A and B are shown apart, each in its own frame.
Chain A
Amino acid sequence: MPEFLAELLNQNEIFNATTVIHYWGGLVTTVQLVFLSLVIGLFLAVPLAILRTVRNPFVSGPVWLYTYIFRGTPLLIQLYIIYYGIGQIEGIQETFWWDIFRDPFYPALLAFTLNTAAYTTEIIRGALMATPQGEVEAAKAYGMSWALRMRRIVLPSAFRRAIQAYSNEVIFMLHASAIASVVTIVDLTGAARDIYSRFYAPFTAFVAVALVYMALTFLIVYGFRRLEQHLLKHQRPLNQ
């Protein structure tokens, strides 16, 4: 550990090596949980969004129901239902599923993934719906098949339109992950709660963790700005 850091830590009773490691473990868990749920959620959301735009109600209806349920209930309730609900299923302890769902990480990952996939589906669906009709017609005129049209024209153009709304979803997901601590996961907030109750110092414990969340948000915002600059290059004035 660098000397200046050691010296800084010696000046107070709360931020000693043990608690800093505790916070670090929380940071790792938060990043893992949020990153994995966002990646899986995005992969689920793209096909779901396409299905959601299909005219046939037997295809788009179930997707509509799914996004309606997961956007219509609080994430905390979804987490409770998945974490405690699964444990109540008769006989699940004897199946291989229990090896996965015994650990609180996976029920939380499942809840977060399903939740973010629902929101992302709607974001991408909106972008798909806003595809200019002319682009589709031009692609048809070139004789592109439906799959090729989707891959080359519709999806890339939809992603460009969706990216700003999606960056919001990523930040919301990071902040929503704070509720993971209610199911005994020691994420950033969980670490702060442990340290708060250990030292009776709510202000210090939570301000420290708020700063970490802010730093993470800053990284996300910065990353998305770079991505936008790259993807939306064609929309910027030439002289910039």
Chain B
Amino acid sequence: MKQFLIAAGCILAMVTGVAQAQERPLRIAFDVPYEPFEYRTPEGELTGFEVELAEAMCKEMNRECDFVVQAWDGMIPGLMARKYDAIMSSMSITEQRAKRVLFSEPYYRTPGGWFAKKSTSVDVTDRSAMEGRVVGVQRGTTMDNYVTENLGNIVEVKRYTTADDMRLDLESDRLDLVFVDYPVGEEYFLTKDNFREIGEPVKLGEGVAVAMRKRDRELAKEINKALETLKNDGTYDTIMNRYFDYSIKM
């Protein structure tokens, strides 16, 4: 009898637990602002590529979603502390992070872009033309790793903390070229008259994915299925084209 009661209790707990999980809205965290991925409109409304994608994803999953705003440095700790269930805030997949969180399939990847002064013309894919050039990157980014690994022994790599410092040195000819995250380059270099883009954007890294707690494998499956559908039925492209004039799809 006693055993039966315990078993019944367990089953009851499981059933209600599952039911609760279904009712509870899915909480998704963003670090705002990070234009054009997540930011607030002048009216204070949360919007951006990732926010719209999250909305479409929740609709596809048939679940109610709550959006939470969280500063970047507390992003993963907040997930662990159950302040939210998923992160959709341009978090790139890295080995280090994958040790702590569960990543979905990647849903976007921004390319790296080459930028230089208008007067510069060089074929960035031609190694002999690149020889001896001074290239600026942001320290520790995927762009830094790409240049160091592929061109490290033929160009001089200079590492910067901020894009502002890099622009100053490009302006005063201390740098011949910079290689930065494409949206950053668009904002810092293409908005100025004296800079231009060189060559084609380069696809880099493993991409950006939804991060969840390690044990939430069911949720990951659900999210992957929803993202897959959005990518195939054109919803993803519609949202992407609203924010970008190049493809970040993957």
Contact = CB atoms under 8 A, between A and B. Distances in A.
B232 interface: no
Contacts of A140: none
Contact of A102 (B96, B144, B165, B173): B173
B169 A87 contact: yes
Contacts of A84: 165, 168, 172
Contact of A87 (B96, B140, B144, B174): B174
Nearest to A98: B173
Interface size class on chain B is 10 to 19
B140 A197 contact: yes
A37 to B, nearest CB: 21
Contacts of B159: 184, 186, 190, 193-194
Contact of B139 (A88, A197, A200): A197
B111 to A, nearest CB: 21
Contacts of B144: 197
Given A182-B161, A184-B159, A194-B159, A93 B172 contact: yes
A228 to B, nearest CB: 41
A198 interface: yes
B160 interface: yes
Nearest to B174: A102
Among A88, A102, A184, A190, residue most surrounded by chain B Cβ atoms (within 10 Å)? A184
Contacts of B169: 87, 184
A87 B139 contact: no
Contacts of B158: 184
Contacts of B96: 200
A70 B173 CA distance: 28
Among B140, B145, B159, B174, residue most surrounded by chain A Cβ atoms (within 10 Å)? B174
Chain A contact residues: helix, strand, loop or mixed: helix
A102 B175 CA distance: 9
A88 B160 contact: no
Contacts of A184: 158-160, 169
B171 interface: yes
Interface in B109-149: 139-140, 144-145
A197 B139 CA distance: 7
A194 B139 CA distance: 7
Interface in B153-172: 158-161, 165, 168-169, 171-172
Contacts of A197: 139-140, 144
Nearest to B168: A84
Interface string B161-199: 100010011011110000000000000000000000000
Contacts of A186: 159
Interface of B: 96, 139-140, 144-145, 158-161, 165, 168-169, 171-174
Which 3 residue pairs spanning A and B have beta carbons closest together?
Answer: A197-B140, A87-B172, A184-B158
Given A88-B168, A93-B173, A182-B161, 11 more contacts: A87-B169, A87-B174, A88-B172, A98-B173, A184-B158, A184-B159, A190-B159, A193-B139, A194-B139, A197-B144, A198-B140
9 contacts: A93-B172, A93-B173, A102-B174, A184-B158, A184-B160, A184-B169, A186-B159, A197-B144, A200-B96
